[in-house]
Amino acid sequence: MSFSKIISLPTGSLSIQINESETLFNQYIDFAARNNPKRGFLFVSKVLGKHYPCTPDTMQHSYSQLVDLLLVNEKDSQQFVFIGMAETATALGLGVYETWLKRSQKHGIYCQTTRYFLENQPFVDFEEAHSHATGFYLYHPKEHATQQVFNQADTLVLVDDEVSTGNTFANLVNAYKKINPALKRVIIVSLLNLTSANARKKVAQKTGMVFEWLSILSGQFTFTPNPDYEFKTIHVDSNQQCKKYLLNGNYGRLGIDRALPELTGQITPLIADLTSKNKVLVLGTGEFIYHAYLVAKEFERAGIDAYVQSTTRSPILVNSAIVNRLAFQDNYDDGIANYLYNNDIYYYDAVVVVHETPMNSELAFLISHLNAMALKVTNGTICLS
């Protein structure tokens, strides 16, 4: 069942050893090179709705598979805090949480990390040292009942698409323990886990906690950098200005204790307009992926062949799993480049951009370039923008 593989990238050579079959691995993961001297490679997930287009049914299937693993390992835990890791795994984290809510008898809340600063909002501060943008915030929940669970839950569930060292999780757990000394268990849930036994031991030592590692795929990797490759210097960090004027709803950044409302009925007129289309891309922006998934799910229910993707600040090279790249300015007033990858894999009859920020010139450029329709989400309500 296991297999090994060496992948040649412009930035270096990536060697992997996977414990599961190559067929299963290829259903979930591909590879790419990244313009990041700290980590010149990327495991490109095919089921996140991020760098690679996928159907909402495919996304839901991955949520269900991860929850299957979680339910087997619930044990004596009573209160759970789920955390989805920005930017890539915000939809994955929320999807796992909502699926778990439907199937578990336990109580839990969901939070997501974010790169956006919100003034006068207490936060847990930690870093992802290898990332292209290292600073993250985990905000304390806004509502009192949700905050109580955040402060006293016995189990922390950290959800990410891929885990390679566990160092970011160690940083986060150490910061979170200062708020919640009652924490007893930490569960890492991921599509792909490449941490070695030694790396897991170090994470446990750094935090003083016992970690449980749950994943669909597991193995190990080594990366040998190409000494001749010259990385380009780019700016990808947020500008640390307050973004409250841009973020008009709480979909996890300030903690939630229930599933987001379904969109049934909200986009019925749009569905009627799209039923004659063969393929439709529903595009989220940055960390705001899950509502694109919800819209695409409604399209799928109506018989439309819908795909989900999101823009990103991650600077990936056109190579291997990345067949094309569209660059533009971000719509969160950070003044940095954002990208849309692989939008030429399928020919789309229509594109729908689902966004949380007000319309601005950057967003208008993207919509115009894609000849797209736009849906704005304000406090959970969707309208044509």
Residue range of the domain that includes 353:
268-384
Residue 134: the pLDDT is 57
Examine residue 104 and state whether it is found in any structural domain, yes or no: no
Q: Is 70 exceeded by the pLDDT of residue 327?
A: yes
Examine residue 286 and state whether it is found in any structural domain, yes or no: yes
Domain count of the fold of the chain: 1
Examine residue 318 and state whether it is found in any structural domain, yes or no: yes
The mean pLDDT value of the chain amounts to: 94
Question: Which CATH number does the domain housing residue 327 bear?
Answer: 3.40.50
Cα distances (angstroms) measured from residue 207 to each of 171, 184, 211: 8, 12, 9
Cα distances (angstroms) measured from residue 94 to each of 71, 119, 334: 16, 24, 25
Q: Is 50 exceeded by the pLDDT of residue 132?
A: no
Nearest to 337 by CA among 317, 319, 318, 314: 314
SS3 for 237-268 is: CCCCCCCCCCCCCCCCCCCECCCCCCCCCCCH
What are the φ and ψ backbone dihedral angles of 273, each rounded to 5 degrees?
A: -75, -25
Nearest to 284 by CA among 61, 32, 95: 95
Residue 321: the pLDDT is 95
Residue 133: the pLDDT is 46
Residue 234: the pLDDT is 83
350-355: strand order across its sheet: 305-310, 279-284, 350-355, 373-378, 381-384
Enter the tokens of residue 231.
Answer: 């990385």
Which pairs from 257-260 meet CB under 8 Å and 24+ separation? 257/108, 257/109, 257/110, 257/143, 257/145, 257/146, 257/149, 258/101, 259/97, 259/98, 259/101, 259/102, 260/94, 260/98, 260/290, 260/291, 260/294, 260/380
Residue 63: the pLDDT is 98
Examine residue 182 and state whether it is found in any structural domain, yes or no: no
Please tell me the least confidently modeled range out of 5-9, 78-82, 380-384.
Answer: 380-384
Q: Is 60 exceeded by the pLDDT of residue 129?
A: no
pLDDT digits (tens, 9 = 90+) for 20-52: 999 999 999 999 999 999 899 999 999 999 999
Residue 262: the pLDDT is 85
Q: Is 80 exceeded by the pLDDT of residue 384?
A: yes
Examine residue 353 and state whether it is found in any structural domain, yes or no: yes
What are the φ and ψ backbone dihedral angles of 269, each rounded to 5 degrees?
A: -60, -35
Enter the tokens of residue 140.
Answer: 């304390």
Q: Where does the chain have alpha helices with state H?
A: 22-28, 56-72, 90-103, 144-152, 167-177, 197-207, 268-274, 290-301, 361-369
Enter the tokens of residue 108.
Answer: 């839990």
Q: Is 50 exceeded by the pLDDT of residue 385?
A: yes
Examine residue 341 and state whether it is found in any structural domain, yes or no: yes
Enter the tokens of residue 159.
Answer: 């959800």
Taking the mean position of all CA atoms in its chain, how far away is CA 184?
A: 25
pLDDT digits (tens, 9 = 90+) for 240-252: 899 999 998 999 9
Residue 136: the pLDDT is 84
Enter the tokens of residue 111.
Answer: 């939070």
Are the C-beta atoms of 46 and 53 separated by less than 8 Å? Answer: no
Examine residue 300 and state whether it is found in any structural domain, yes or no: yes
Residue 240: the pLDDT is 87
Band the pLDDT of 128: cuts 50, 70, 90.
low
pLDDT digits (tens, 9 = 90+) for 171-198: 999 999 999 999 999 999 999 999 999 9
Q: Average pLDDT, stretch 209-222?
A: 96
269: left (phi over 0), alpha (psi -120 to 50) or beta: alpha
Percentage of residues in the chain with pLDDT exceeding 70?
Answer: 98
> Which of the pair, 95 or 1, is modelled with greater confidence?
95
What are the φ and ψ backbone dihedral angles of 172, each rounded to 5 degrees?
A: -70, -45
Nearest to 113 by CA among 312, 314, 313, 253: 253
Examine residue 347 and state whether it is found in any structural domain, yes or no: yes
Band the pLDDT of 130: cuts 50, 70, 90.
very low
pLDDT digits (tens, 9 = 90+) for 62-110: 999 999 999 998 778 889 999 999 999 999 999 999 999 999 989 999 9
Query: pTM here?
Result: 0.96
Are the C-beta atoms of 95 and 60 separated by less than 8 Å? Answer: yes
